[in-house]
Structure formats: structure tokens, C-alpha cells
Amino acid sequence: MLNKCNQKLDYCKKLTRCFSTTKAVNSKRRVVCTGIGITCPLGHGTKHSWKKLINNQCGIVKNEFSEFPNLPSKVAGIIPKGLLDGELDIDSIVTKSQLKYLSKSMVYALAASEEALNSSNWKPQNEEDRQRTGVVIGTGIVDLEAISETSNILLEKGYRKVSPYFVPKILTNMAAGHVSIKYGFQGPNHAVSTACTTGAHAIGDSMRLIRNGDADVILCGGTEAAIVPVSIAGFARARALSTSFNNIPGKSSRPFDKLRDGFVIGEGCGILVLEELQHAKNRGATIFGEILGYGLSGDAHHMTAGKEDGTGAYLSMKGAIRDADIDSTDIQYVNAHATSTPIGDVIENKAIKRCFGEHAKNLKVSSFKGALGHLLGAAGAVETAFTLLALYNKVIPPTLNLEQPGEEFDLDYVPYKSVEFELPSNRTRRVAIKNSFGFGGTNASLCLAEYID
């Protein structure tokens, strides 16, 4: 009897040590970015697209569907495809037979993931490392083209002509699934689908999974390929798209500008390799920056428009700052969601002023959508990647086409061209906030920082 009691006591002590040790370790786990992969309207490849972004170039082009001549918006941010430098060669990523069950967004995810893993030099060979590596990749809109085509086949040719790959091709979790299958990653496998907040939520969720000890490394981000007639028709009917600059595509996306008249639809993918700090240091990885904090909120207001006073955006920014355990005055730069819509840009601007108060006048604020268009579910991931590069290279990319700011826009929006990311004399490192907002009133903000050992 005494032996049994002692055994139970020993077991309880072991459990106590186990849980207390886990808590102590997790509370100290810091999360950094060690790899970046980007394919976007500025080009395929991080170095290529970053160079174009900081050189004030635009990736928005003319986009016309000959079979649908009456679509009112005729501009889009399209990934350049081909064999030249900065172009995406799809044939080098997947075979023709694989395209039977892969959507474009999944192909983009595979392409950006390959670059991110090469950038990080993370290619685990043993089972333990693969089990400690997760994949969190989301998309905002499923493959509408596949749905439209399959519906027509079913109606015109019958059930037996429907592809057996149809369902896997439209599932939102399959980008994460195919990436994990390709590399054998057996850690957390998760897919976020929160409209235009998808990419930011995927990164924030991944940061928390690593911080919590569920993984040491996570490949994460967002991917989108929704430039098809049915989606453009839907957004156009909702009066969300720009139509006033069809003949001058490079001028069509105009965050904070008086003449902005809607967003420009874009496609792309941004993938980050997030890693527990000590794990990254132990293997000598390059560190592009640190994920300090993550804030989420809901507008609880309207299915497509944010609350006019900016409460939702304000709450997500405050949440990210609180999670980072810093003061709002520690922030020097805000990468805005600002999509170039008449209502959305005003709401975010109000939220920034409310969140930062007098300090807002000291901030640099810019939106990359003048150069990229709006990449929907991929926007938050691609823009977070570029914000980390801004911290790493100490350069803030500009807001393009900001020729006449509206009356309420009286902050520093970094118009026209890139500027040096200056460090105030009373601060030790550069810190930024990245905002992403989506239909349904879903909001996320990430607090990102320059890494200092």
C-alpha cells in the first residue's frame, strides 16, 4: 500500500515538474522570421519584387476579358508569368498532370514556399525536426473558376464528366496540405480563411503556436488567385473596384488620395518561415525581424464596411501593442491596410489617430496597395513580408499615387518615393504595426520589430 502511494506521489511530482517547466519555457519563447518567399504583381521572387517596391514601381496592368467586355473594371495586379528574371515559370513548379488537382493559388503557395525555405535554409532531414515544423497557409476565396467550369460541365455533359479532383481543388486548406505533403512537415497543419485578413491571421496564429510550444518552425502566409470574371463581376456589382483609371492602370490604386474610387484586384502569395529564436540562433539562421505581438478584433457592425469611428481597427492595433508589451510611442511606422476605397481609408486613418494620439504625428504611414493592388487573402502576408524587409533594410516603401490627400489625411503617408527608416535617438530598435481588415468585420494587427541580439 505504501509503495503504491509513493508511486502516485512520484507521478504527481513528475507531472508538476512537466507543466511548470513547459510554462516557464513557453513564457520566454520569442518568435522571429528567418525566411521569406514572395510572388506578386511586382514579380516572382523576394529580391526582385522588393527592389521594384522601394524603387517606386507599380505592378498593376490592363486586364480585359474578351468574352466579358462589359466588366467595368479593367485593371488588375497580375503576377508576371514566363521564363525571364522576375517572372513565375509555372512549369518549373508543377507538372501538367498536377494542375488537374491544383488551383492557381495552391501553385503560388508551392512557389513561394520553396523560396521561403531556401531563404531560411530550413530543410529538416530527421523525423523529430519534421514533427516540430508546421504549415499554416490560408486563402480568402476558393477557386471560383473551377466551380464555374464544373457547374457548366455538370449541366451540359452530366455527372460522369465531373473531375474527381474537383473538391480537393477548391478546399481552402489544400495549399497548406500540399506544402506539408511535399516537404513531409508533420507539425500543426492549419488553414485560415478570413477574407482580406487571412494572411495576417495566418502569421499571428503561427506566432502563437510557436510561442505556446506547439512547434519550433512554421511555414505560414496567405495565397490568392481570384482574378476571374465571376469575382470581378461580384466585386464590381458591390461597387468596390476602381473604374476611373482603366486607361492608366498604374494610377488606379490610390490609397488616401482624393481621387480614389475603389480597390484594384490582385493576386499573389507571401510565405514566411517563423521560428523560435533560440532554435534559429542555434543553426545560425539569418533573422529578418521579430514578431512581437498580435491583436484581433471584430467590428460587429456591417458585412463589408468597417465601423465609421474605426473602433475595430483601433482595438486590433491596441491588442497587438499590448501583446508585444510595449508602449504605443515605441512604434515608428504603420503599414496600413488602406485599399484605396473612399470609406475604408478614412476609417483606418481615424483608428490610427485614436490609437496613437499625439504620437500619430511622429509616425510614418504607408500602403503598398498603390504598387500591388489588393491581393485579398494574400495581402496581409505579402505586406507583412515587405514590412519585415523594411525593418531589416531600414527603408520604408512609399504610398504610390498620393497626389492630393483628402482633408482628413494629415499624417506622413510617405508619398511618391521610399524614405530611410530612421531610428529615434531615444529608441533602441525599429518597430512597426501591420494592419489587415476583411469583410465580415474581421481585423488583425501584427507588431513587428527589427531584431537585435
Q: Which residues are catalytically annotated? A: 196, 337, 374
C-alpha cell at 114: 520553396
Q: 89: number of CA atoms within 13 Å, CB side?
A: 6
Q: Compute the distance between CA of residue 32 and CA of residue 279 in angstroms, rounded to an integer.
A: 10
In contact, 93 and 110? CB cutoff 8 Å: yes
Amino acid at 43: G
How many whole angstroms separate alpha carbon 132 and alpha carbon 152? 43
Give the cell for residue 412.
Answer: 506622413
Give the residues across from 295 on adjacent strands. 445
DSSP 428: S
d(CA 231, CA 104): 15
CA dihedral 172, 177, 182, 183 (to 10 degrees): 120
CA-based nearest residue to 104, from 78, 68, 132 = 78
C-alpha 37/C-alpha 49 separation (Å) is 10
For 227-246, the DSSP string reads: -SHHHHHHHHHTT-B--TTT
Cβ atoms of 276 and 216 within 8 Å: the answer is yes
Of residues 241, 251, 223, the one with CA closest to residue 377: 223
3-state secondary structure of 20: helix
Distance, CA of 224 to CA of 188 (rounded, Å) = 21
Neighbours of 355 (CB within 10 A): 24
Distance between CA atoms of 224 and 206, rounded to whole angstroms? 19
Find the distance separating the first CA and the last CA of the chain, reported in whole Å. Answer: 54
Asked if residues 199 and 444 have their Cβ atoms less than 8 Å apart, the reply is: no
DSSP codes, 1-17: -HHHHHHHHHHHHHHHH
Mode of pairing for the β-strands spanning 395-396 and 419-420? antiparallel
CA-wise closest residue to 448 among 339, 299, 324: 324
